[in-house]
Amino acid sequence: MNNDLFKKLVDLYAGHELSSELEQEMESAAAEDSSMMVELTTMRNTVDTLQGDSGPEFTEESYQRILMKLYARGAAIQPKAPAPAHLQYHLPIQG
Q: Is residue 89 part of a domain?
A: no
Residue 92 lies in a domain: no
* pLDDT score for 4: 78
Q: Is residue 77 within 8 Å of 70, Cβ to Cβ?
A: yes
Q: Is residue 94 part of a domain?
A: no
Q: Is 49 a domain residue?
A: yes
Report the number of distinct structural domains present in the chain. 1
Asked whether residue 95 is domain-assigned, the answer is: no
Q: Which domain holds residue 71?
A: 1-76
* 65 located within any domain: yes
Residue 87 lies in a domain: no
Q: How far apart are CA 29 and CA 77, in angstroms?
A: 56
Q: What is the pTM of this model?
A: 0.55
The whole-number pLDDT of residue 48 equals: 92
Ordered per-residue pLDDT tens for the chain, 95 residues: 577 788 888 889 899 899 999 999 988 988 988 888 999 999 999 999 999 988 888 899 998 999 899 989 998 887 777 666 666 667 777 75
Farthest CA pair distance, the chain: 89
Q: What is the predicted pLDDT for the residue at 92? A: 75
Q: Does the residue 29 lie in any domain?
A: yes
